[in-house]
Amino acid sequence: MGFSGVDAVVFGVADMQEAQRFCEDWGLHRVSVAPDRLVYATRDGGEVIVRPKDSPDLPPAIEAGNTVRQVIWGAEDEAALAESLGRLKEAGALVMGADGAPAAVDPNGLHHAFRVSRRRAVQVTPTPVNAPGNPGRIDRRSPVHDHADPIKLGHIVLFAADFAAMRDFYTRAMGFIVSDEYPGHGVFLRCKRRGEHHNVFVLNRPGKPGVNHVAFTLTDVHEVIGGGIAMAQKGWKTEIGPGRHPISSAYFWYFHNPLGPPLEYYADDDFCTEAWQAQEWTRKPELFAEWAIAGGIDGTTRRQVVAVDNSGRGHA
């Protein structure tokens, strides 16, 4: 029970045309395009909704510039939705949205809405791997992708102005489960006991609320690499990646974009159950990335773009 994941993310942006170009290149599926509203979908029907940042009906921004204005969480059915809304109500976190539907505002000021999920299950088959004595891929070449086709909105990462309050909101009011934690600094949270490693990661940044990134799930490492190189070929700049996170185990590649904070392609994250052992970690660079390429890979030379990570965005 509880929420099942991110159903939609609403962005407020300055340049709708650039945002549209990015959504097309990112591999999202066009649902509708209008001057004041773009709707794109992932393979499972998750929605990326883009609005002009000064739209009067948008919830307020929690930071300057292009950013996420609302997150819509899905529940599997009416009963799960009712249970989750009951938990929010009990925590004193449920308010009435502008549209008359139940909503919540987290301690950062970010607006959340809730619905029975409109996403559908997508069956994907990652490329099997070969090892001596244990070939998983026989008489078959491994793929080289020329673009990504994002499966779902996997997670959102938030800078917490008040870390303790945000941790309390997402665990107690939203009912999320701790998968891993940097005590006092960061907490990885998943919606469901049996599910992907995190749907939200809350990162301490006292007094400065914000969105660190939004992540899209791909099939496997090959799609992360092929999709990332395709974005580089189209001129989009890497924030950091490709690389691999030791915590969650995922392969990643983050891009700057005109929707807001960096957007991430990722694949092969840990799947957790009741038996998953949450751990407490001490923050250090090698836990953000086992390895990573700061400037990305140039789409023409297929070599790294020489760069130093001076982003100051908490990659340590």
Residue 7 or 264 having the CB closest to Fe ion: 264
DSSP lists the bridge partners of residue 39 as 32, 49
Collapsing DSSP states into helix, strand and coil, what is residue 3? strand
Q: How far is the CB of 269 from Fe ion (least distance, A)?
A: 9
Q: How far is the CB of 252 from Fe ion (least distance, A)?
A: 6
The widest CA-to-CA distance across the chain, in whole angstroms, is: 62
Q: How far is the CB of 154 from Fe ion (least distance, A)?
A: 7
Residue 44 or 264 having the CB closest to Fe ion: 264
Residue 215 or 289 having the CB closest to Fe ion: 215
Residue written as token pair 């001129």:
235
| Ramachandran area for residue 21 (φ above 0: left; ψ -120 to 50: alpha; else beta) | alpha
Q: How far is the CB of 313 from Fe ion (least distance, A)?
A: 12
Residue 71 or 215 having the CB closest to Fe ion: 215
As a whole number of angstroms, the distance between CA 238 and CA 263 comes to 10
Report which residue's Cβ sits closest to Fe ion: 215
CB-based contact 153:216 (threshold 8 Å): yes
Q: How far is the CB of 140 from Fe ion (least distance, A)?
A: 30
Alpha helices (H) along 31-131: 78-90
Residue 93 or 203 having the CB closest to Fe ion: 203
CA-closest candidate to residue 152, choices 256, 223, 84? 223
Residue 20 one-letter amino acid: Q
| Ramachandran area for residue 202 (φ above 0: left; ψ -120 to 50: alpha; else beta) | beta
Residues of this chain that interact with Fe ion (CB under 5 A) are: 215, 264
